[in-house]
Amino acid sequence: MRLVCISDTHGHHRGLGIPDGDVLIHAGDFTDQSNIAEVTDFLKWFEQQSHTARVLCCGNHDSLFESDPDIARVLIPSNITYLQDSGCEISGLRFWGSPVQPWFYDLAFNRQRGDEINRHWAMIPMNTDVLVTHGPAYGTLDRIGNSERGGCEMLRARILEIGPRLHVCGHLHDGYGTDFLGKTMLVNAAICNEEGRPLREPIVIDL
């Protein structure tokens, strides 16, 4: 199965070149201001992509989905699978997605480090194959600038416990790239750089 991974497009989706594949995954921050017009425009574009399946997770900029979830969910086309502390199965692969990240600039889906955020990670099933979260795990693909790290320690521990085949994230734009944590391949698919310019390419993974 070919997975095409993107994140942190921040409204620049229509200028992207998206490779062909089986599943298109967006790991959050598809909007910038998250008003209804911006959300609707993204969802129309996302549903039109040629992939067999489209998996969507929110990020800290996608505040409509936290402030007015009933309105936001009505906007989602039927051919998009939206994951918010929930899962799905696609061609035998088990996906799980969560939008939360450690507290960051008082935006959407923030949780305090410790027990509050760990309640979300505890929900991830042990048999998960592909984990999609907006934020990265601590220690890799989580750079803020040249030195500071902003990933979640408890997410790292849960990934090591479960050992999914793939973890897709974004959020911290400087962390773009791929790495491994134990046997899990990690992807930070942030398209925009720290200046908000969409300069990165989608990351394609074959499982």
pTM value is 0.97
Q: In this structure, which amino acid lies at residue 78?
A: S
The answer to whether the CB of 32 falls within 8 A of the CB of 77 is no
pLDDT tens by residue, 18-43: 999 999 999 999 999 999 999 999 99
Q: H or E segment at 86?
A: strand 86-90
Supply the CATH classification number for the domain 2-206.
Answer: 3.60.21.10
Please report which confidence band the pLDDT of residue 195 belongs to, taking 50, 70 and 90 as the band edges: very high
Distance CA 93, CA 6 (A): 19
Q: Convert the pLDDT of each residue in 111-147 to its tens digit.
A: 999 999 999 999 999 999 999 999 999 999 999 877 7
* Alpha carbon distance 37, 42 (integer Å): 9
CA angle 91, 129, 116 (to 5 degrees): 130
Is residue 131 within 8 A of residue 168, CB to CB? The reply is: yes
Q: How far apart are CA 164 and CA 185, in angstroms?
A: 8
Q: Mean pLDDT across the stretch 153-161?
A: 98
Domain residue ranges in the chain:
2-206
pLDDT confidence of residue 147: 74
The 10s digit of each residue's pLDDT in 70-124 is 999 999 999 999 999 999 999 999 999 999 999 988 899 999 999 999 999 999 9
Q: Report the pLDDT value the prediction gives residue 145, as an integer from 0 to 100.
A: 79
Q: What is the pLDDT of residue 181?
A: 97
